[in-house]
Structure 1
């Protein structure tokens, strides 16, 4: 199909079959997460997914699901406009590609770009992004899409690719990406090490990303009262480091509060403080409304503005269906002090 890419699955697969194929290797959308550069997924989550330890078609992050919907909806239009503006022909591909020698390297290319003879000669990666990201796209392809594009170049063997991004629904930016052989080799090496860990059951280090925290909070079916006996050599240094960081954070919070208080005292009754003609900081009365102070000061007026809201009766749910209630409770992480016990 391409210089180094062969078709390993047709494009007509249903979603469950397609997800199963994705688990046989690393695709372009996995690369940023594997390298710890994704907001929504971590290396640990990708590892568990490729090992088959997560549900095959688990719910996406709402932001990702919405972005994926609009990306899919706009893709044909962006491909057509790209062809009109560049004069290059484009065509949809036959399905999932794998590298001819390293079959774990996968690619689902959005479109193939045709040469003057009508033969595929490069690829087109299509993105739909917020207008707030315009500045990131003006002078080149941002890191995440650039890594994905180079991964596809690594799989296909093409010398260049095109990236077309629709920003804010009304601005199309097109970049040509030349193959960087050093980057390709580096990606194959780093991601290859990760894939070897998937095959031999060696997980990546659990990182400090929000994606990992969210995953761990919902990953396990909790067994009430279950106790795990941990290795002191592993856990005690982590607990000590955690204590040190908490103490440092507390000191930092105290110092910041002192500085803020001194700046507020300088402002006095003023909302704006200027230094050398420029606004240095503001202290306006535009923060959260204090319902408690208002109700205490004006009880009659507060009564006029009270209203009932439609809310889930979680207390009744807990009483009548405790097993269902327990399934949706968040896990609380508590490290007791020497004088406490974990609740």
Structure 2
């Protein structure tokens, strides 16, 4: 049964939740499938800085306000609205590693409806379409459809509040069985990778940076395929019409092939290097001073050594 689970501090390495779905599908602007995989196996643990924690805390404080505003808005439109539950976690009855936390569950005119409360950065408001439409960012659409899969209902209402609104924008997402089936298939395939320790290919710059942050000082001989990638990168960099996106893609492909080698050869001649610059020591003053009147010992607590950059230089 889809009974609510009371889990106060869930271990996110043990399941796929709504916040993971966009990354699984490759549509998240924040996380690639590769890095999500690394998080699930415990190889990558995201650093929560004081500034990032402040943003999280602010979102949590605003959520009940957005919920209250949504209920008021729906009632002003003439609907009968009752809050059935909030922040309940559910597991899939067939695959317990698929789970979802539903922000709120409503009874609207006698119909049970899933609900999501979002606070939206004013600069991201343009990504949201007309009110009462289903035009919301694709990464939130994926999360909502995942929620409808785990807690089956006909539709979800989303309340999105930006800094410029005096009331939330209301959007409705209808359940789509074909989309849910596709998402479920992708999630099951991804979780099999986690169980089999079969990482997705690195596709983003941050993937390769995390995977091969330091060179080993070794020399690697390129094959014809890698030589072609390097030559293509040279050509695109020379061409004024080369787009930054294409250059980034080729760089990522080359770096993923080079791995932790520092120099790339083709038939004994260097064609590229990817070496770390000299490490630099950096004091994060902003974070230190956020923590109210730091002493010298306190500042030292926020001082860290930053690894040198590892530029890909074509020869």
1:330 Cα shift? 3.0
Which residue in the other structure is 1:5 paired with? 2
Which residue in the other structure is 2:146 paired with? 151
1:110 aligns with 2:103: yes
Q: Per the alignment, in what secondary structure is the counterpart of residue 114 of structure 2?
A: strand
1:215 aligns with 2:210: yes
1:86 aligns with 2:74: yes
Unaligned runs of 5+ in 2: 76-80, 244-279, 283-302
Residues 314 and 98 (structure 1), Cα distance of their counterparts in 2 relative to 1, 3 Å cut: closer
Residue pair 1:70, 1:128 contacting (<8 A) in 2 also: no
1:39 Cα shift? 2.1
Q: Deviations over 1:98-121 (max 9, x none)?
A: 11112121101111112567xx82
Q: Per the alignment, in what secondary structure is the counterpart of residue 44 of structure 1?
A: helix
Q: Deviations over 1:146-188 (max 9, x none)?
A: 1100010011111111111002252510112110111000110
Unaligned runs of 5+ in 1: 257-312, 316-324, 338-343
Q: Deviations over 1:293-338 (max 9, x none)?
A: xxxxxxxxxxxxxxxxxxxx959xxxxxxxxx9952234144664x
Residues 244 and 75 (structure 1), Cα distance of their counterparts in 2 relative to 1, 3 Å cut: same
Residues 326 and 217 (structure 1), Cα distance of their counterparts in 2 relative to 1, 3 Å cut: farther
Report the number of matched residues.
Answer: 250
Residues 215 and 225 (structure 1), Cα distance of their counterparts in 2 relative to 1, 3 Å cut: closer
- CA RMSD across the alignment: 3.3
| Cα distance between partner residues in 1 of 2:120 and 2:187 | 26
1:141 Cα shift? 1.8
Residue pair 1:7, 1:94 contacting (<8 A) in 2 also: no
Residues 62 and 174 (structure 1), Cα distance of their counterparts in 2 relative to 1, 3 Å cut: farther
Structure number with the higher strand fraction is: 2
1:239 Cα shift? 3.0
Which residue in the other structure is 2:136 paired with? 141
Structure number with the higher helix fraction is: 1
1:194 aligns with 2:190: yes
Which residue in the other structure is 2:92 paired with? 99
Residues 29 and 327 (structure 1), Cα distance of their counterparts in 2 relative to 1, 3 Å cut: same
